[in-house]
Amino acid sequence: EDEAFLAAFQERIDAEQKIEPNDPMPEGYRKTLIRQISQHAHSEIIGMQPEGNWISRAPSLRRKAALMAKVQDEGGHGLYLYSAAETLGISREEMYDQLLSGAAKYSSIFNYPALTWADIGAIGWLVDGAAIMNQIALCRCSYGPYARAMIRICKEESFHQRQGYEILITLCNGSDEQKEMAQDALNRFWWPSLMMFGPSEGQSVHSQQSMLWKIKRFSNDDLRDKFINATVPQAEFLGLKVPDLELKWNEEKQGYDHGEIDWDEFWRVVKGDGPCNRERMRTRRRVEAEGAWVREAAHAYAQKRADRQAA
């Protein structure tokens, strides 16, 4: 790739032109997008597991219908995102293989268990809340198909967020035991939700280049701070306590100061040693094997139609 090509590409990016699938692009740009979009897709698919577990245990028909719709949406987001990644020249099978072999990551957050019904509230409120904060910025990503996919996905995520917050409002207005359940869920999900935004400045190896290419618009730390500033008042409204003794309003910066994130825990979970990593992958492998006959049948049917058309 010569310098003139790279400079011309950067000029298009700087002029806020969207890059489309058939446009020439630097190999690094293509690779970065395949990595990020496919890992985003894997997160959606693996992210169905913690909540999927609770569909049959939802406390009412109404709660069950909402949760089922949410988990289905996540499956839809995954498929949408796999399609966006395919426009960059990788096949879905390759992406699945990368997930199953461990070569591709998925978000650390889905390696934590959903132990109680309050966790379903906390996942909607905090996990989808963090996802939206990150994805709103991605609606302006320089790669057209990814940016456009994000618009619809963000709309659905905001329904998910409200669904979760409403579960917690109900629990917090309930018995002491229910309120304790809500507090316990916040205690366990707060820090892992902050970790979703990725490592801090020095450790975020991809940020600088991704910001230059306008794949990312904000640093991991900036988005994390925005999330904290938006979420702390919501916890106060619920009457819950954020489990961070160092959390304090900073008048000067008009934002919260917060305690240090346990980065050892983050990297441990990212590298496969979190509470549920093995279980998530085991489940994913099992359903992949169980679904093999469906894919075979679909291929055979497509082949038969193609043969008939050719004849």
Contact between 108 and ligand FAQ (CB under 6 A)?
yes
The three-state (H, E, C) secondary structure of the chain, written as one string: CCHHHHHHHHHHHHCCCCECCCCCCCHHHHHHHHHHHHHHHHHHHHCHHHHHCCHHHCCCHHHHHHHHHHHHHHHHHHHHHHHHHHCCCCCHHHHHHHHHHCCCCCCHHHHCCCCCHHHHHHHHHHHHHHHHHHHHHHCCCCEHHHHHHHHHHHHHHHHHHHHHHHHHHHHHCCCHHHHHHHHHHHHHHHHHHHHCCCCCHHHCCCHHHHHHCCCCCCCHHHHHHHHHHHHHHHHHHHCCCCCCCCCEEECCCCEEECCCCCHHHHHHHHCCCCCCHHHHHHHHHHHHHHCHHHHHHHHHHHHHHHHHHHC
- Give the nearest distance from C-beta 187 to ligand FAQ in angstroms: 19
The residue within the footprint of ligand FAQ, chosen from 163, 220, 231, 277 (CB under 6 A), is 220
- Give the nearest distance from C-beta 259 to ligand FAQ in angstroms: 18
The residue within the footprint of ligand FAQ, chosen from 49, 67, 74, 84 (CB under 6 A), is 74
β-bridge mates for residue 19, sequence order: 143
Contact between 205 and ligand FAQ (CB under 6 A)?
yes
For ligand FAQ, the binding residues in 224-253 under the rule CB under 6 A are none
Q: In the complex with ligand FAQ, which residue's Cβ is closer, 163 or 183?
A: 163
- Give the nearest distance from C-beta 186 to ligand FAQ in angstroms: 16
Q: In the complex with ligand FAQ, which residue's Cβ is closer, 241 or 268?
A: 268
The residue within the footprint of ligand FAQ, chosen from 92, 105, 148, 268 (CB under 6 A), is 105
Contact between 217 and ligand FAQ (CB under 6 A)?
no
The residue within the footprint of ligand FAQ, chosen from 52, 129, 198, 274 (CB under 6 A), is 198
Cβ atoms within 10 Å of 274's Cβ, excluding its own: 21
Part of the chain binding ligand FAQ (CB under 6 A), chosen from 19-27, 41-49, 168-176, 286-294? 41-49
Part of the chain binding ligand FAQ (CB under 6 A), chosen from 31-39, 82-90, 286-294, 297-305? 31-39
Q: In the complex with ligand FAQ, which residue's Cβ is closer, 173 or 209?
A: 209
Contact between 274 and ligand FAQ (CB under 6 A)?
no
Q: Write out the residues near ligand FAQ by the rule CB under 6 A.
A: 35-36, 39-40, 43-44, 47, 74, 105, 107-108, 123, 127-128, 131, 134, 195-199, 204-207, 210, 216, 220, 270
